[in-house]
């Protein structure tokens, strides 16, 4: 199974080579693999409907990760949609996209890659494997909706689809980890066999549900799906009707056998599913764009499927699998019909189309077949599914759980009424004669467009007329749920169950739905007068805008671009983190003396006075002299401490530093504050309050360092053994001076490193100074730094 998935991706990667020659051939080649997948699926029919076909590939044994796949009844149905409809839609695309279409190469490769990812998703038996493919389909959807990013509508829709589904995906990943860890396995079949209990598992289930609900466009996340209609119609037919949006539903269907009896699972599914079904149906009644009408219809049907898969009822699950198959088989051809209508007339607007039933009679028949299946007309697959759905909840309402059963049964009835109404509206909108509208004169659609459409539509009729075939697919899946009584155990899909409540429901749905369509003007009026206080799309926009504003504000606050502020933050961090550790863990040493040698006092006083004076001086030269005083004072302290080598180095270095400073200072202004007469920034002269804050922060930080030095040095008990060793071994190095022995012998490599640093610094300094001299020589006459600035700055 992994090989099949990988084959899709590999061929997709190579496809651009073909599409450079011929766009049509590329789509043709792309259609081969999904078709082969369908054949492969049916070749393993026995295993799929029986024990299931498993395959495990070790991914990383060290991390205990594996790619687990399993073909079962649900997987097989999805293969019909992903592989079968995929092949049809790719073949359709060959004629849908123009021969030289700029979008065709990208779409053919991406559609095939998506088919591979989707195949992996529906076959996955490991939650982490499933997650990987889940996100791959989200990315494919982003790329296919976004197209080249040329149009605002594409960009907006692609980003919305990505943000919403990936938000759900990330929540799901967390949920997967929770569930997987509490179950001790990530295998879906094992988790369902022994579902984990407890708070962690319950949280995980809720998070996984967020992923499923966003992916399948359930309220309140649904607006991304109608927006995604900015994609080309074949993409909408494949991703946003037949396959990808089913991912959430399929995930619910996979986990329901283990969790359907838990309130945290079925309550949100039932409530949101029903609400989605009603909202989608209601919105579909008012769309004038045929494609968006179908999109809201898909939202509605996805809600229906959610309710069925989450029911945990044996008959309900039979209905779920049947409706899953039926929805793919009627929604994909309906989208293809819209694509053809758009192609031959140049519009999808209900108000502009008229008389097409005479212009395109063949297409109209295919559309009627598909729409009738959607509406639940007998002899079509949709009817079988809907009958079973009514039976499930009526049965539940009559015998087990009246409240839940009747609410769901009547809710689904209302949804079905809306479904019938918008199915009729679709047919009327696309094909009917409309008074006052000029009949359009369509071009002849290509046969390559018609054949796939017809194939899918007729499949719904054939399967609808032969219920045992569908039964054979649906029963093995439903067997995962316990039957509570004989009715449930014996339930089979059939065209005729006798005069019963479900049949009455079907009749009512058809009759009221058609009545709604007849009274459509009044309904439209009602829709206009109803205010919309809550709009999910508006909610999404407000959230995204809020995020952007918040991100900008946080960046503006955090990244102020001021060096003193950054340093201040660093110092505060030093004070807070190690400072607290010092206060709580450190102990003030008891044996601290006031002063070790009297000579330390005058020397220390020189250093302190010079340092404090440094903060007050305005003249640069004075400042440099004060730095020199500090340096020499510290050199003196080194002598007192018994470190003549240090003192020597300190005196030498200090002298050199002074010389270097003087060289530079003679070119700079005398005072700190007169930095260049043209300084524009001098307007924001430091304010007193800011200076005070700096002084306080610096003082506290300085005191902290001193206190830390005292406390830490007091914690030391013995001189390190290494020092004694160095002293003892110094004669072996042939040196009297232990320091010299350490520097040039024991730690000679350190010294080499130090010399390297000196060399690099010298090279850097020299090049900087030489660059300035070079600039100066280049301009004749040379001059003051201000002059250089004018030329170079």
Which of 50, 149, 184, 525 touches other proteins (CB under 8 A)? Answer: 149
For residue 742, state whether it binds other proteins (rule: CB under 8 A): yes
The SS3 assignment for 71 reads strand
Residue 403, CA distances (Å) to 1, 256, 398, 785 in order: 44, 21, 10, 89
Asked if 171 and 203 touch (Cβ cutoff 8 Å), the reply is: no
Contacting range for other proteins; rule: CB under 8 A; set: 248-256, 274-282, 394-402, 585-593: 585-593
Which of 197, 518, 660, 752 touches other proteins (CB under 8 A)? Answer: 660
∠ Cα 161 88 458 (to 5°): 110
For residue 343, state whether it binds other proteins (rule: CB under 8 A): yes
**Interface of this chain with other proteins, residues 722 to 741, rule: CB under 8 A:** 722-724, 726-728, 730-731, 735-739
CA–CA separation, 674 and 400 (whole Å)? 91
How far from the centroid of its chain's Cα atoms is residue 472's Cα?
38
Q: What's the CA dihedral at 439, 440, 441, 445 to 10 degrees?
A: -130
DSSP 8-state code for residue 733: G
Which of 16, 148, 539, 585 touches other proteins (CB under 8 A)? Answer: 148
Tokens of 698: 């610096």
For residue 594, state whether it binds other proteins (rule: CB under 8 A): yes
For residue 653, state whether it binds other proteins (rule: CB under 8 A): yes
Sign of CA dihedral 85, 87, 88, 90: positive
**Interface of this chain with other proteins, residues 323 to 342, rule: CB under 8 A:** 339, 342
**Interface of this chain with other proteins, residues 118 to 147, rule: CB under 8 A:** 147
**Interface of this chain with other proteins, residues 481 to 540, rule: CB under 8 A:** none
For residue 611, state whether it binds other proteins (rule: CB under 8 A): yes
Asked if 250 and 184 touch (Cβ cutoff 8 Å), the reply is: no
Which of 568, 578, 579, 586 touches other proteins (CB under 8 A)? Answer: 568
How many residues touch other proteins under the rule CB under 8 A: the total is 157
Which of 530, 562, 689, 780 touches other proteins (CB under 8 A)? Answer: 562
Asked if 146 and 188 touch (Cβ cutoff 8 Å), the reply is: no
Which of 469, 494, 670, 705 touches other proteins (CB under 8 A)? Answer: 705
Instruction: For the beta carbon of residue 495, count every other beta carbon within 10 angstroms.
Output: 13
Considering beta carbons, is residue 462 or 656 the nearer one to other proteins?
A: 656
User: Least CB distance from residue 784 to other proteins, whole Å?
Assistant: 10
User: Least CB distance from residue 413 to other proteins, whole Å?
Assistant: 33
Which of 16, 51, 184, 346 touches other proteins (CB under 8 A)? Answer: 346
Residue 567, CA distances (Å) to 243, 484, 559, 582, 704 in order: 55, 71, 12, 21, 16
For residue 650, state whether it binds other proteins (rule: CB under 8 A): yes
CA–CA separation, 532 and 732 (whole Å)? 93
For residue 351, state whether it binds other proteins (rule: CB under 8 A): no
For residue 749, state whether it binds other proteins (rule: CB under 8 A): no
User: Least CB distance from residue 729 to other proteins, whole Å?
Assistant: 11
Which of 559, 580, 752, 779 touches other proteins (CB under 8 A)? Answer: 559
Non-local CB neighbours of 291 within 8 Å, separated by 6+ positions: 229, 233, 236, 335, 338, 342, 348
User: Least CB distance from residue 370 to other proteins, whole Å?
Assistant: 19
Which of 13, 612, 670, 752 touches other proteins (CB under 8 A)? Answer: 612
CA–CA separation, 84 and 39 (whole Å)? 9
Instruction: For the beta carbon of residue 294, count every other beta carbon within 10 angstroms.
Output: 30
For residue 555, state whether it binds other proteins (rule: CB under 8 A): yes
User: Least CB distance from residue 335 to other proteins, whole Å?
Assistant: 11
For residue 772, state whether it binds other proteins (rule: CB under 8 A): yes
CA–CA separation, 85 and 333 (whole Å)? 9
Which is nearest to 104 in space by CA: 37, 178, 19, 227?
19
Interhelix angle 127-146/247-259, rounded to 10 degrees, is: 160
**Interface of this chain with other proteins, residues 615 to 644, rule: CB under 8 A:** 615, 620, 623-624, 627, 630-631, 634, 637-638, 640-644
User: Least CB distance from residue 662 to other proteins, whole Å?
Assistant: 11
CA–CA separation, 425 and 173 (whole Å)? 40
User: Least CB distance from residue 163 to other proteins, whole Å?
Assistant: 9
Peptide bond into 220 cis (omega under 30): yes
**Interface of this chain with other proteins, residues 378 to 437, rule: CB under 8 A:** none
Considering beta carbons, is residue 346 or 402 the nearer one to other proteins?
A: 346
Tokens of 178: 């929770």
For residue 694, state whether it binds other proteins (rule: CB under 8 A): yes
For residue 586, state whether it binds other proteins (rule: CB under 8 A): no
For residue 100, state whether it binds other proteins (rule: CB under 8 A): yes
Asked if 48 and 76 touch (Cβ cutoff 8 Å), the reply is: yes
Which of 492, 614, 622, 625 touches other proteins (CB under 8 A)? Answer: 614
For residue 167, state whether it binds other proteins (rule: CB under 8 A): no
> Whose structure tokens read 């046969």?
447
For residue 649, state whether it binds other proteins (rule: CB under 8 A): yes
Considering beta carbons, is residue 470 or 630 the nearer one to other proteins?
A: 630
Considering beta carbons, is residue 402 or 686 the nearer one to other proteins?
A: 686
**Interface of this chain with other proteins, residues 207 to 246, rule: CB under 8 A:** 229-233, 236
CA–CA separation, 777 and 215 (whole Å)? 69
Interhelix angle 402-431/290-310, rounded to 10 degrees, is: 160
**Interface of this chain with other proteins, residues 277 to 316, rule: CB under 8 A:** 291
Residue by residue, DSSP assigns 101-166 as -SSHHHHHHHHHHHHHHHHHHHHB-BHHHHHHHHHHHHHHHHHHHHTTS-SHHHHHHHHHHHHHHH
Which of 60, 529, 584, 678 touches other proteins (CB under 8 A)? Answer: 678
Which of 348, 357, 395, 425 touches other proteins (CB under 8 A)? Answer: 348
User: Least CB distance from residue 734 to other proteins, whole Å?
Assistant: 11
For residue 192, state whether it binds other proteins (rule: CB under 8 A): no
Asked if 730 and 736 touch (Cβ cutoff 8 Å), the reply is: yes
Which of 775, 778, 779, 782 touches other proteins (CB under 8 A)? Answer: 775
């Amino acid at each position: 199974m992994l090989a099949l998935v990988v084959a899709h991706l590999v061929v997709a990667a190579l496809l651009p080579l073909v599409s450079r020659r011929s766009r049509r051939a590329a789509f043709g080649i792309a259609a081969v693999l999904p078709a082969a997948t369908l054949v492969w699926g049916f070749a393993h029919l026995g295993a799929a409907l029986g024990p299931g076909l498993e395959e495990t590939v070790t991914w990383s044994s060290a991390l205990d990760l594996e790619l687990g796949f399993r073909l079962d009844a649900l997987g097989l149905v999805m293969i019909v949609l992903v592989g079968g409809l995929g092949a049809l839609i790719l073949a359709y695309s060959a004629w849908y996209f123009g021969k030289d279409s700029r979008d065709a190469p990208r779409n053919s490769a991406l559609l095939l890659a998506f088919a591979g990812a989707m195949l992996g998703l529906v076959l996955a038996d490991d939650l982490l494997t499933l997650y990987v493919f889940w996100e791959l389909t989200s990315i494919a959807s982003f790329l296919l909706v976004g197209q080249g990013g040329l149009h605002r509508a594409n960009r907006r829709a692609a980003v919305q689809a990505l943000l919403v589904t990936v938000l759900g995906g990330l929540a799901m990943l967390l949920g997967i980890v929770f569930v997987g860890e509490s179950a001790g396995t990530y295998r879906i079949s094992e988790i369902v066999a022994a579902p984990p209990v407890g708070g962690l598992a319950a949280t995980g289930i809720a998070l996984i549900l967020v992923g499923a609900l966003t992916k399948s466009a359930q309220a309140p996340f649904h607006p991304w799906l109608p927006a995604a209609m900015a994609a080309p119609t074949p993409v909408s037919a494949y991703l946003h009707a037949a396959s990808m949006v089913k991912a959430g539903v399929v995930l619910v269907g996979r986990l329901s056998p283990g969790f359907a009896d838990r309130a945290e699972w079925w309550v949100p599914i039932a409530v949101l599913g029903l609400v989605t079904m009603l909202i989608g149906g209601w919105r579909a009644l008012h769309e004038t764009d045929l494609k968006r009408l179908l999109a809201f219809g898909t939202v509605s049907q996805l809600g229906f499927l959610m309710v069925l898969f989450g029911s945990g009822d044996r008959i309900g699950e039979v209905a779920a699998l049947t409706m899953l198959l039926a929805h793919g088989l009627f929604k994909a051809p309906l989208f293809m019909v819209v694509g053809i209508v758009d192609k031959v007339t140049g519009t999808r607007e209900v108000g502009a189309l008229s008389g097409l039933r005479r212009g395109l009679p063949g297409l109209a028949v295919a559309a009627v077949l598909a729409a009738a299946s959607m509406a639940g007309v007998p002899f079509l697959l949709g009817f079988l599914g809907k009958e079973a759905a009514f039976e499930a909840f009526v049965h539940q309402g009559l015998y087990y759980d009246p409240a839940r059963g009747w609410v769901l049964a009547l809710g689904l009835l209302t949804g079905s009424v809306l479904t019938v109404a918008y199915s009729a509206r679709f047919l009327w909108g696309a094909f009917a004669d409309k008074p006052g509208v000029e009949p359009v004169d369509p071009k002849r659609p290509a046969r390559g467009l018609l054949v796939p459409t017809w194939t899918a539509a007729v499949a719904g009729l054939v399967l609808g007329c032969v219920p045992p075939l569908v039964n054979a697919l649906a029963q093995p899946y439903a067997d995962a749920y316990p039957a509570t009584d004989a009715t449930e155990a014996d339930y089979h899909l059939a065209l005729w169950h006798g005069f019963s409540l479900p049949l009455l429901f079907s009749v009512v749905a058809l009759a009221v739905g058609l009545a709604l369509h007849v009274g459509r003007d009044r309904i439209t009026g009602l829709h206009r007068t109803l205010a919309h206080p809550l709009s999910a799309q508006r909610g999404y926009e407000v959230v995204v805008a809020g995020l952007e504003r918040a991100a900008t504000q946080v960046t503006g606050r955090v990244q102020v671009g001021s060096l003193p502020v950054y340093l201040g933050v660093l110092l505060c961090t030093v004070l807070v983190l190690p400072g607290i550790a010092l206060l709580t863990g450190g102990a003030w040493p008891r044996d601290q003396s006031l002063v070790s040698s009297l000579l330390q006092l005058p020397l220390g006083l020189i250093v302190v006075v010079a340092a404090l004076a440094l903060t007050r001086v305005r003249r640069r030269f004075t400042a440099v002299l004060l730095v020199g005083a500090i340096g020499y004072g510290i050199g003196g302290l080194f002598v007192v401490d018994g470190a003549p080598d240090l003192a020597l180095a300190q005196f030498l270095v200090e002298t050199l530093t002074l010389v270097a400073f003087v060289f530079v200072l003679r070119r700079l202004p005398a005072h700190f504050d007169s930095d260049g007469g043209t300084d524009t920034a001098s307007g924001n002269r430091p304010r007193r309050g800011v200076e005070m804050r700096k002084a306080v922060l610096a003082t506290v930080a300085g005191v902290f360092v001193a206190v830390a030095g005292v406390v830490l040095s007091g914690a030391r008990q013995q001189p390190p053994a290494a020092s004694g060793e160095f002293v003892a071994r110094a004669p072996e190095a042939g040196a009297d001076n232990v320091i010299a022995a350490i520097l040039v012998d024991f730690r000679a490599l350190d010294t080499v490193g130090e010399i390297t640093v000196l060399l690099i610094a010298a090279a850097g300094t020299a090049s900087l100074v030489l660059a300035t001299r070079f600039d100066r020589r280049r301009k004749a006459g040379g001059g003051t730094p201000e002059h250089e600035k004018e030329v170079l700055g």
